[in-house]
Structure 1
């Protein structure tokens, strides 16, 4: 009679309920990997099971990688897309691309290679890339604020130099965060120090979570200032037309402010549950809660290209040129509006 081997989540320490239910002893086993077939009776044939949540994360990673690879390719091949705004969008797409690759590699190594070294490398890649994604979102927000506040001098060489400086700093900080698990800041030798995501320690995840909350607060403040500037400009233009509510510019400005609210709301909805949960929980909590908050966080990298890249008129034109070698007349004649902010 065949007996199946229970599998613990690849991202987490073994579920205590699995141990208590008679699934077998976890002594001398690498946490987050299936028990070896040796624990089964000789006459049993083991069938490797895959955690469904890991399949969801791997699927998300594949979609993230494909979607953002298209954005990176378009920006890389089009010389016209070299303005600071497009460099930051390209940085965001590259970070999300690496995050998708990291999710896929982590799934493959967890069920095929099952090595602590491979696990450290992939988790480091995921941490670094998602950190770069969040930092890139902050850089885009700063760039949008500066483009409105310093509208007359925004297109100067100083802006380009500032953009390159932001890129160097955000990728440097992200690389440092990603190297922490590889350089020894992990819980492989001390399971009780693990966070909700193995092999990250509780302190490591706490630093990442607090940093995210600070960055989110800064982004919120910048978006509030952006809304004030946009509404003030719209009001000044509308007053010149002597009729506020019917002015087309006022209508499109309201649409732009709504877009900013959607951007910030989507970002918070994706990342806030996992951030808050990782601060209050530890490795003893049920794995279901971790996956239920971690999966939506990955969806932010799926949504980012739609919000920041595919809505941009210049990138849309470049995509049309790549796909069919032409640009629709309606798109070529369309003017940029505040809703594109």
Structure 2
């Protein structure tokens, strides 16, 4: 089922991306058919924005469900060990907060552009398009930085790299990728 979902997701993405090449564009038409993202038509940009909103809503739903499962699992581990394992709760809260930061960054980066695609008119200055698209393009660059600053081993490596020494009172311990 997972392979089918992945293939369908990539297939839908490829189809949506190829539509302008296959002729759904406004190159040969009047300028009124164009959207704020030339040469895409208004209907194509609205379809892409609607797809974004659907994917974003699905991501929100899935992340909420993931967080509920993770919190329930950490609580069950603590109950099985007959004590409240502070390290499990801290790791769980840190993981949930990292997911929230990543999703919040994704929304803050892409929502302005998606909203502008729906409400923008082709006559608006191009700087508006670039001003809303620029944060969206930086989203992929921001995610690794967020993960890096949430991981203690990477923090220690950066400290050693930029300071040349390691004199920190913070105790760093080896962590698994799930602790991020």
TM-score per shorter chain, which class?
A: 0.7 to 0.9
What is the DSSP-based 3-state SS (H/G/I as helix, E as strand, rest coil) of the residue aligned with 1:181?
Answer: coil
**Aligned pair 1:281/2:120, yes or no?**
yes
Structure 2, unpaired ranges of 5+: 155-172
Paired with 1:240 and 1:183, the residues of 2 have a C-alpha distance of 58
Runs of 4+ aligned residues of structure 1 deviating over 6 Å after TM superposition are 308-312
Whether the 8 Å CA contact 1:253–1:338 is kept in 2: the answer is: no
Alignment correspondent of 1:46? none
Q: 1:241 Cα shift? A: 4.0
What is the DSSP-based 3-state SS (H/G/I as helix, E as strand, rest coil) of the residue aligned with 2:70?
Answer: helix
Alignment correspondent of 1:265? 104
Which structure is richer in relative contact order (CA contacts within 8 A, separation 6 or more)? 2
Alignment correspondent of 2:79? 239
TM-score, scaled to structure 1? 0.43
- Shift in CA distance, 310/225, structure 1 to aligned 2, threshold 3 Å: same
Structure 1, unpaired ranges of 5+: 1-161, 317-332
Alignment correspondent of 2:157? none
Paired with 1:177 and 1:292, the residues of 2 have a C-alpha distance of 23
Match of 2:89 among 231, 234, 250: 250
Whether the 8 Å CA contact 2:24–2:40 is kept in 1: the answer is: yes
Q: 1:192 Cα shift? A: 0.4
TM-score, scaled to structure 2? 0.78
Q: 1:335 Cα shift? A: 4.1
Paired with 2:150 and 2:86, the residues of 1 have a C-alpha distance of 24
Match of 1:203 among 16, 27, 43: 43
- Shift in CA distance, 212/280, structure 1 to aligned 2, threshold 3 Å: same
State the Cα deviation string for residues 172-197 of structure 1 (Å, max 9, x = none).
Answer: 21221122111211111221011111
Bigger Rg, structure 1 or 2 = 1
Q: Aligned-pair RMSD on alpha carbons?
A: 2.5
